[in-house]
């Protein structure tokens, strides 16, 4: 039996974030910063840790794991 034939709905349901907004949606940055952030997020050679360090310079403390979740599409932006 393949995974396409198996009902995984109970796993999928509990994988969805509950009751939070992703940092990406709530961070208050300028249009220029948003453009730079979007470009950095779309560039695989720029690590999540590098993005985290730049965000810290901008006054926002966001860890690499949080940024990786957004990049992977497992945050509230994609599932909320």
Residue 44 covered by a domain: yes
**Average pLDDT of the chain, as a whole number:** 86
The predicted structure's pLDDT at residue 49: 96
Residue 72 covered by a domain: yes
The predicted structure's pLDDT at residue 9: 87
Contact 23, 70 (CB under 8 A): yes
CA distance 11 to 9: 5
The predicted structure's pLDDT at residue 78: 66
Q: How does pLDDT run across 18-55, given as a tens digit for each residue?
A: 556 788 988 999 999 999 999 999 999 999 999 999 99
Domain total for the chain? Answer: 1
pTM across the whole model: 0.72
Residue 50 covered by a domain: yes
Contact 55, 36 (CB under 8 A): no
The predicted structure's pLDDT at residue 8: 87
Domain range for 66: 38-80
**Nearest to 23, CA basis, from 3, 46, 41:** 41
Residue 7 covered by a domain: no
């Amino acid at each position: 039996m393949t995974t396409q034939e198996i009902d995984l709905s109970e796993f999928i349901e509990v994988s969805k974030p509950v009751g939070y907004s992703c940092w990406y949606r709530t961070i208050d940055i300028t249009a220029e910063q948003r453009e730079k952030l979007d470009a950095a997020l779309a560039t695989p050679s720029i690590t999540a840790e590098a993005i985290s360090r730049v965000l810290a310079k901008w006054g926002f403390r966001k860890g690499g794991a949080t940024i990786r979740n957004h990049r992977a599409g497992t945050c509230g932006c994609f599932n909320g």
